[in-house]
Amino acid sequence: MSSTQVQGAQVVNRVATLLRLVGRRAEGTSLSEVMRDTGLTRPTAHRLLTALTREGLLDHQSATKTWSLGPEFHVMASVAAAQFPIANIVRPSLHRLAEKTEESAFFSLRRGNQTVCLMREEGSFPIRTFTLLEGTRYPLGVASAGIAIMAFLSRPEQDELFAEGEWRSQKFGQAHTIEAIRPRLESARARGYSVNPGLILEGSWGMGAAVFDRNKNPVYALSLTGIESRFRGERQEFLGKALLTEAHRLSLQLQQPWA
């Protein structure tokens, strides 16, 4: 492979990383945050951000000195949504979950070694937690969706994800070491659903169930979040059953050819 090809691939990787990073928050991302999270130097980060802004893929807010996703990106996203109308398939399941449980319901997608929250629907219970929003990313094995998906991967796949390093515990605390995550994966696989007992934000609990594609791979997840008192005992069993019912229904739907 030529050095030009290698450099070209590196640019593509950097651009993709920047778009994912900026797309995490609607309020925008600063240059210092980009540098911190990518390891890029200030000149390189600024040059790439400026080039993406010229192409319309990013938008720069001069008042706040932040970048957000631009108009061209939204056009492409609209076309992609029309080609793959997953929202139309998922929304009814989220609505039923939120209505039945009164908790906030979410749909997440696996992207590499992470999960990305794509959709949510608020429940009617007046007290809510805000650990998960559209665009929020967590590593596999962290948060209820990531635990649910990783639990149904093969052991070699799990080992490969763990081999990437112990940075989970460095960022999310000692509750997310390999030794701490493995029992949660085993428990989730045995029950069919995962439980996150306030490990990211104290008092904010979550539960998740994997959703499988047509190749029987766990690439999506449904999850619920709420306060601790509503995720214990018999109610936990009720929430788990509701999640599994909708996850099974959604898996069957997603395994059909999309219109």
Ranges of each domain in the chain = 3-74, 84-254
Q: In this prediction, what percent of the chain has a pLDDT beyond 70?
A: 88
The per-residue pLDDT for 166 is 61
Top-tier CATH class for 84-254: alpha beta
Q: Which parts of the chain sit beneath pLDDT 70?
A: 1-8, 74, 77-85, 126-131, 165-167, 257-259
Half-sphere exposure in the Cβ direction for 161 (13 Å, CA): 26
Q: Which CATH number fits domain 3-74: 1.10.10.10, 3.40.640.10, 3.40.190.170, 1.10.1040.10?
A: 1.10.10.10
Long-range contacts of 65-68 (CB under 8 A, 24+ apart): 65/30, 65/31, 66/27, 66/28, 66/29, 66/30, 67/22, 67/28, 67/29, 67/30, 67/31, 67/34, 68/22, 68/25, 68/26, 68/27, 68/28, 68/29
Q: How many CA atoms lie within 13 A of 7 on its CB side?
A: 3
| This prediction's pTM | 0.72
* Whole-number pLDDT of residue 63: 84
Q: pLDDT at position 3, please?
A: 46
Instruction: Quote the mean pLDDT of the chain.
Output: 86
**How far, in whole angstroms, is CA 201 from its chain's centroid?**
16
Report yes or no: 145 and 221 within 8 Å, Cβ to Cβ.
yes
Length of the chain: 259
Q: Give the per-residue pLDDT at 25.
A: 72
Residue 211 pLDDT: 96
